[in-house]
A and B are shown apart, each in its own frame.
Chain A
C-alpha cells in the first residue's frame, strides 16, 4: 500500500505541475502580449507599462513562471482586478454554495442511477432497461441551460411550486448562522426546520436540472459493471448453489459492481465543476461557477485563471481520493502494482 501511495503521489504532483504549466501557457504565452489582454485594447503605452510592472510581465518568461509557480504553491491564485481581493478567498467564500448544490445533485443522481442501473442489468432488454437507455441518451444530449429554463418556466412561472431563479433563499429571508456553509444543514443544526425547507425549495430546480445530466453516466456505469459482475464465475456459482436471485443481485453483484461506480461518481463530480457555471449563472446561484461567469463578464482574467487552477486541482485531488479508496477496498489494485498508463 505504501508503494502504491507514493507512486500515486508522484504522478499526482506531475499532473498538478502540468496544470500550472498549462494555465500559465494559456494566460501568459498564448495571447501574444499578455499586458494588452489585461489592460484592454484601448490602453496607452503608459498604462501598458504600468500593467506590465504590476503583473511582472516585463521579466523573462522563465522568471515569470517561477514567480507564478511559487505563488500557486503557497496558495496564491492571483488577485481579482475587479475587487482587488485574493481570488482564493473569493472562491472559498463561494465554495459552500457550489458544494451544497453539487452534493444534492450527485446524491440524487446516485439515488436514482444505482437502483435503476441494477434493475436494468438484471433484466437486459426489459422495460427498465429500455427506460434506462432512453435516460442515458437524453441525459447525454441535454443542454443544461435549456432544461433549466424549461423547469423555471413550468415550475416557477406556470405552477409556482418553487421560488424563482434568484439566490439560495427567497428575497428577505435571513440565512442561517454559518456552521458548515450548507444552508439546509446549518438550518437543521440550529433547529430551524422551516428555514431548511425554504432553502431546500430554492435548491430544487437547479438540483433537478443538474441531476438529469448527471444521472446518465451513473446509469451507464452501474448497468455495465453490473452486467459484467453477473457474468462472473462467482455469481454463476452462487446461482448454481440455489441462492435466491435477490441475494445474488445485491450481495454478489452490486457489491462488486460498486467499485467502478465510485470512479463514475468521480467523473460526475468533475463534470459538475464545469457544468455548474451554466446552472449557477442561470439560477443566480452565488457559487464558484457564477463567480467564473462574472469574471468573464468583467474581463477579469486573473479571477478566471484562479478559478481554472482551483477547479483543476480539486478535480485531480478528488481522483486521487477515489483511487486511494479504490485501493483500500480492492486488494487486487494495490497488490497488482500494474502501471496504469
Chain B
C-alpha cells in the first residue's frame, strides 16, 4: 500500500464511520441481525466456560420440563438441555462461518480464473459447475459425507463443495466485466503477470456479490449441517450440536415433551435468521 493510499483512507475515515452508522439506522433489520449474531458469537466464545459438562447424565432428573433450575429442561438421560445448547453454540457458529468462508474463497478464486482467462479453462469450469448444480445441494453434501465418513471436517468439506458453484458463477460474471476495465490494461502495461492481475487486481474487485452471498450461505450451512445431523449423518451423538439434539428429542415431541427438541431447533433457526437479515440488506444495497 502506498503512502497516498494510506493518507486518503485516513482522511475518509470519519466520513466512512458516520456513513456506516447511518447504514445501520437505514437498515434496522440488518442491525437486529448483527445484534443477534453478536450474542451467538459471544456464546460461542465464552459459553462453554460458563456452563457445566454437556455430557453429564443424571437419570434421576430425566425428562424434566423447563424450570428455574433447568432453563430448557432435561433430556431422557437427565442431561441439562440449556448446558448442551450453550456448548453447541461454538461448534455450530464456527462450522457455519467456516463453510461459508471455504466455499466463498475456493469458489471465488476458481470463478475469477475462469472469467479472467476464459477459453478452455472457462469452458471446463462452467461444465463442472453445471454438473454440481444438477444435484440439489443437500443431496450432494449427503452422499459426500456418507462416503467420506462422519466427522466435523468432512461435513465442512461436503457442504462447502455443495455451495462453491454459486460463488464460481457469481465471481466469474463479475470478473468477465472487470476484465474490460481500464485498470486491468494499466496493470498489464505496468508489467504485471497475468496471474497477478487475476488474483490481486481483478479478484478484489469481483468479490462484492460473493461477500453478500457468503452471509446467506453461512445461514444455510448452519441449517444443512443441522439437517444432516438430524438424519444421523456427519456430527454424531452424544456431541452437543443443535441438529443432534433435535434428532435425539424428535420422539419426545410426539409424547408432549417439546423442550428437548424445540429449544435447540429454535437456536438454529434464529442463527440462520440473523445471517439472512444481514444478507438481505446487503443485497438490497447492491441493486
The stretch from B13-21, B64-72, B73-81, B252-260 touching chain A is B252-260
Count A-B contacts at CB 8 Å: 154
A141 touches B272 (CB 8 A): yes
B111: Cβ under 8 A from any A Cβ: no
* Other-chain residue from A30, A271, A296, A308 in contact with B233 (beta carbon distance below 8 A): A296
A31: Cβ under 8 A from any B Cβ: yes
A145 touches B134 (CB 8 A): no
A19 touches B256 (CB 8 A): no
Q: Chain A residues with Cβ under 8 A from B247's Cβ?
A: 145
Q: Chain A residues with Cβ under 8 A from B223's Cβ?
A: 141-143
22 chain-A/chain-B pairs, Cβ below 8 angstroms: A18-B128, A19-B131, A19-B134, A26-B143, A26-B147, A30-B144, A138-B273, A141-B273, A141-B276, A143-B227, A143-B269, A145-B230, A145-B246, A146-B246, A146-B269, A149-B265, A273-B139, A274-B137, A275-B138, A277-B231, A312-B139, A315-B134
Chain A residues numbered 106-157 whose CB sits less than 8 Å from any CB in chain B: 133, 136-138, 140-147, 149-150, 152-153, 156-157
B99: Cβ under 8 A from any A Cβ: no
A93: Cβ under 8 A from any B Cβ: no
The digit string for A284-306, where 1 denotes a CB below 8 A from any CB of B, is 00000000110011000100110
Known A-B contacts A141-B223, A292-B142; A308 and B147 likewise in contact (beta carbons under 8 Å): no
Known A-B contacts A277-B138, A296-B233; A27 and B254 likewise in contact (beta carbons under 8 Å): no
B130 to chain A, nearest CB (A): 6
B262 touches A18 (CB 8 A): no
A227 to chain B, nearest CB (A): 11
* Other-chain residue from B132, B253, B280 in contact with A149 (beta carbon distance below 8 A): B253
Q: Chain B residues with Cβ under 8 A from A157's Cβ?
A: 253-256, 258
Number of B residues, CB within 8 Å of A: 52
Name which residue of chain A comes closest to B219, CB basis: A141
B94 to chain A, nearest CB (A): 18
B265 touches A143 (CB 8 A): yes
Additional A-B contact list (4), CB under 8 Å, known A15-B131, A157-B254: A18-B134, A147-B269, A304-B146, A315-B135
B138 touches A152 (CB 8 A): no
B145 to chain A, nearest CB (A): 9
B136: Cβ under 8 A from any A Cβ: yes
Known A-B contacts A140-B276, A145-B250, A153-B253; A281 and B231 likewise in contact (beta carbons under 8 Å): yes
B139 touches A18 (CB 8 A): no
Chain B residues numbered 156-214 whose CB sits less than 8 Å from any CB in chain A: none
A164: Cβ under 8 A from any B Cβ: yes
Residue positions of A touching B, CB distance < 8 A: 11, 14-15, 18-19, 21-23, 26-27, 30-31, 37, 133, 136-138, 140-147, 149-150, 152-153, 156-157, 164-165, 270-271, 273-275, 277-278, 281-282, 292-293, 296-297, 301, 304-305, 307-308, 311-312, 315-316, 341
CA distance A273 to B250 in the complex (A): 22
Q: Chain A residues with Cβ under 8 A from B276's Cβ?
A: 137, 140-141
B148: Cβ under 8 A from any A Cβ: yes
Q: Which of A18, A140, A150, A292 has the most CB of B within 10 A?
A: A140
Name which residue of chain B comes closest to A150, CB basis: B262
A31 touches B139 (CB 8 A): no
Q: Chain B residues with Cβ under 8 A from A141's Cβ?
A: 219, 223, 269, 272-273, 275-276
A95 to chain B, nearest CB (A): 16
B35: Cβ under 8 A from any A Cβ: no
Known A-B contacts A143-B223, A278-B230; A30 and B254 likewise in contact (beta carbons under 8 Å): no
B277 to chain A, nearest CB (A): 6
